Structure 1
Amino acid sequence: MPASLSARRARFRAVLQGPDCRHPASVFDPLSARIAEDLGFELGMVAGSTASLAVLGAPDLVVLTLSELAEQVRRMARASALPLLVDADHGYGNALSVMRTVQELEGAGAAGLTIEDTALPAPFGGQGGAALLPLEEGLGKLRAAMAARQDPSLVIAARTGAFALEPEAAALARVRAYSEAGADAVFLTGITRLEPLRAVRDATALPVLGFFGALDAAALGALGVRVALQGHQPMLAAIGAVRDTLAALRAGTPPPR
């Protein structure tokens, strides 16, 4: 294990063990990772949606393959020392697939990754909308992820959208179960108020990560949130700038001299 990768993972763990909530940079390619590092971001987030756009030029329909994601992470880790938290979706299949996912992303240089309990891809004939795996299947995937890692400093976060899909009591039961199974952190979506986070704080002492809308970072930090995403504005801005520039050139606007 190159010392530089262990050092990046140690830096990520220092964020998780600290007292404050940090906003990661949404990064999607080597150049964006280098820019985020130069600007002093403590952490970069590689989302499935932005990775799909960067690699395939397509929306996040769970058609990006593990090898494509791992290769993109490898390029980013080679170009920058920014610790990368990677959205590993559902682990690209069952528990055995999750083990392969962890091996590939660890080898690519990820500092941490999330494994979620959403039923992906959506089954044929479904009624639409997200659905969760049974809790025991989610636990099986999490345990497989932890068994597969070689570097114990690699962060494995259990991700769940249960707060948007189940009653709060059921969602909290998932948080407790993933905590007791040995996850390093929990990554939560579907929470836009502080009250559920107070209940999460009572359910687990693990660091909390996730997307919490416009909630104040200081208030989030007081409730154990250590990483709060702010969305993926950098890629949207980059797409807009490229389109506007090409449109101007196509329309005959001369480039600056």
Structure 2
Amino acid sequence: MVVAGRTSSLRITDLADTIKRVKAYEQAGVDAVFLAGATTKAEVEAVGSEMNIPLLLGGTTGELADKDYLGSVGVRVALQGHLPFAAAIKATYDTLKALRDGVPPADLSPQLATTEQLDQFTRKADYARWTTDFLS
């Protein structure tokens, strides 16, 4: 288990308050700090230089999209938005629209998950084992 102290104070208050909060989180014993709202390298460097635990960032775009740079300043997790969720919504919409428009289901199979992928993502083997272990 990892406990990450999260703060959005860069966008709510200021850099000095953010540093104060991060130091308090570290002193309280968190394993990492999730710094939400950072948009510049200067902000990340200023906060990161004041702590000795890993840094997590949300929304790493613009100048913060450089993974090598982020790793060099103590960032260990850099979220890139909710792209898989957005892609899943679009794929669902496109599939439902195609079906409504009369596209035969068989014509959609190239864009669908394979049986192997479905089994992996739904943990079919684990489920079967758990059913045997706990429901027999």
Same fold (TM over 0.5): yes
Structure 2 gaps of 5+ residues are: 108-136
Indicate the SS of the match to 2:69.
Answer: helix
> Which residue of 233, 238, 242 maps to 2:83?
233
Indicate the SS of the match to 1:173.
Answer: helix
State the Cα distance separating 1:165 from its structure 2 match: 0.7
Q: In the alignment, is residue 213 of structure 1 matched against residue 63 of structure 2?
A: no
> Which residue of 175, 181, 204 maps to 2:28?
181
Q: In the alignment, is residue 200 of structure 1 matched against residue 75 of structure 2?
A: no
Higher relative contact order (CA 8 A, sep 6+): 1
The 1:205–1:212 alpha-carbon spacing in structure 2 relative to 1, beyond 3 Å, is farther
Indicate the SS of the match to 1:190.
Answer: coil
What residue is the counterpart of 1:242 in the other structure?
92
Contact 2:18/2:47, CA 8 A, preserved across alignment:
no
Q: Which has the higher helix share?
A: 2
State the Cα distance separating 1:212 from its structure 2 match: 4.3
What residue is the counterpart of 1:132 in the other structure?
none
What residue is the counterpart of 1:254 in the other structure?
104
State the Cα distance separating 1:213 from its structure 2 match: 2.2
Contact 2:7/2:35, CA 8 A, preserved across alignment:
yes
Return structure 1 stretches of 4+ with deviation > 4 angstroms.
none
Q: In the alignment, is residue 161 of structure 1 matched against residue 8 of structure 2?
A: yes
What residue is the counterpart of 2:119 in the other structure?
none
Looking at structure 1, the residues matched to 16 and 93 of structure 2 have their Cα atoms a distance apart, in angstroms, of 46
Contact 2:10/2:37, CA 8 A, preserved across alignment:
yes
- How many residue pairs get matched? 104
State the Cα distance separating 1:239 from its structure 2 match: 1.0
Letter in 2 for 1:227: V
Q: When the two structures are superposed, what TM-score results if normalisation uses the length of structure 1?
A: 0.39
Q: When the two structures are superposed, what TM-score results if normalisation uses the length of structure 2?
A: 0.72
**Per-residue Cα deviation, 1:118-173 (whole angstroms, up to 9, x for no partner):** xxxxxxxxxxxxxxxxxxxxxxxxxxxxxxxxxxxx11000010111111101110
State the Cα distance separating 1:224 from its structure 2 match: 0.4
Higher Cα Rg, which structure: 2
Indicate the SS of the match to 1:246.
Answer: helix
State the Cα distance separating 1:202 from its structure 2 match: 2.1
State the Cα distance separating 1:203 from its structure 2 match: 1.2
Looking at structure 1, the residues matched to 58 and 19 of structure 2 have their Cα atoms a distance apart, in angstroms, of 17
> What pairs with 1:129-148 in structure 2 (closer than 5 Å)?
none
State the Cα distance separating 1:251 from its structure 2 match: 1.5
Contact 2:26/2:53, CA 8 A, preserved across alignment:
yes
Structure 1 gaps of 5+ residues are: 1-153
